[in-house]
Amino acid sequence: MKKYIYQLSEEEFYNFLLAYKKGVELISQEENLITFATYEPVEDLTPQAVQEVKIVPQERIFRPFTVGSFLIHRPDLIPISVNPGMAFGTGLHPTTKVCLRLIEKYFLPGWTALDVGCGSGILSIALAKLGAREVLAIDIDERAVEETKENAKRNGVSLQVKQATPADLEESYQFLVANLELPIFEKEATHIKRLFSVRGVFSGLYGGDDLEKFLKLFQDHKVVKIVKMRGWYGVVLEK
């Protein structure tokens, strides 16, 4: 789409409006000179400039905002409410953002899911809201377990939450997400491998060295996707 910019005297402009009978964009008015724009060429007028206009969908312009205690957002967004006072994750860290983006793209509704190292439960809640048939969230920290339970209630989703390590589990899940540090992956890789049957999302890896070591640990799996955000890596693996 093109934007045609014109300049007319005030008298000429108002006479033009009466004849044009379409909307115009008023850009500026200085003394007796009015600058305005139309989105189609006007016969018998020479534009001062012609600009290319990029059309942005309405939903991309509207961003969530607050008014007092109210949060206003588009209906297609999936809200996740967490307690900001806890230290188990609020969704701001790059690894959490990476996991959320990969979950949204690579998780399928109806799958069973396991969240290893659930922290505040953000990833588990996301899986539940995306249509998981069953979600188990585990963490070795008792406070994280309690916080995940509270956040699940706060978001109106049903989760199974346990204080456990991967070694404590026997059942396999179709989808697994693990946002952990490399030393934990090195310790738990054997158990993590047997706990998912289709696809897994992994993060908590900082820098190329961490990524290389992680990929060696899981070299018997297919690498579907690797993404990077502020030095942190996320990996999608399939059996």
Return the CATH number at 103: 3.40.50.150
**Do residues 221 and 128 share a domain?**
yes
Whether residue 153 lies inside any domain: the answer is yes
Residue 57 has pLDDT above 80, yes or no: no
Whether residue 82 lies inside any domain: the answer is no
Claim: this prediction has a pTM higher than 0.95: no
Whether residue 81 lies inside any domain: the answer is no
The band of 59, judged by pLDDT with boundaries at 50, 70 and 90, is low
Domain that holds residue 42: 2-55
Whether residue 41 lies inside any domain: the answer is yes
**Each residue of 19-56: pLDDT tens digit?**
887 788 889 888 789 999 999 999 989 999 999 987 76
**Do residues 224 and 155 share a domain?**
yes
**Do residues 127 and 212 share a domain?**
yes
Burial letters 200-235, b for 16+ CB under 10 A, else e: bbbbbbbeeebbeebbebbeebeeeeeeeeeebbbb
Rounded to the nearest 10°, the torsion over CA 116, 119, 123, 128 is: 90
Residue the block writes with tokens 């060429």: 41
Residue 89 is given by DSSP the state -
**Do residues 164 and 213 share a domain?**
yes
**Do residues 20 and 134 share a domain?**
no
Angle subtended at Cα 233 by Cα 228 and Cα 239, rounded to the nearest 5 degrees: 115
* 177 half-sphere exposure, CB direction, 13 A CA radius: 33
**Do residues 214 and 100 share a domain?**
yes
**Do residues 198 and 135 share a domain?**
yes
CB atoms within 10 A of CB 170: 7
Whether residue 169 lies inside any domain: the answer is yes
The band of 84, judged by pLDDT with boundaries at 50, 70 and 90, is low
Answer yes or no: is 96 a known binding residue: yes
The predicted pLDDT at position 83 comes to: 78
Whether residue 103 lies inside any domain: the answer is yes
Answer yes or no: is 220 a known binding residue: no
**Do residues 45 and 117 share a domain?**
no
**Do residues 102 and 48 share a domain?**
no
**Do residues 229 and 113 share a domain?**
yes
Whether residue 50 lies inside any domain: the answer is yes
DSSP annotation string for 23-77: --EEEEEETTEEEEEESSPPTT---SEEEE-----HHHH---EEETTEEE--TTS
pLDDT > 70 fraction of the chain, expressed in percent and rounded: 94
**Each residue of 108-155: pLDDT tens digit?**
999 999 999 999 999 999 999 999 999 999 999 999 999 999 999 999
CB atoms within 10 A of CB 78: 12
The predicted pLDDT at position 58 comes to: 59
Answer yes or no: is 234 a known binding residue: no
The predicted pLDDT at position 69 comes to: 72
**Do residues 108 and 18 share a domain?**
no
State the total domains in the chain. Answer: 2
**Do residues 45 and 101 share a domain?**
no
Residue 85 has pLDDT above 60, yes or no: no
Whether residue 184 lies inside any domain: the answer is yes
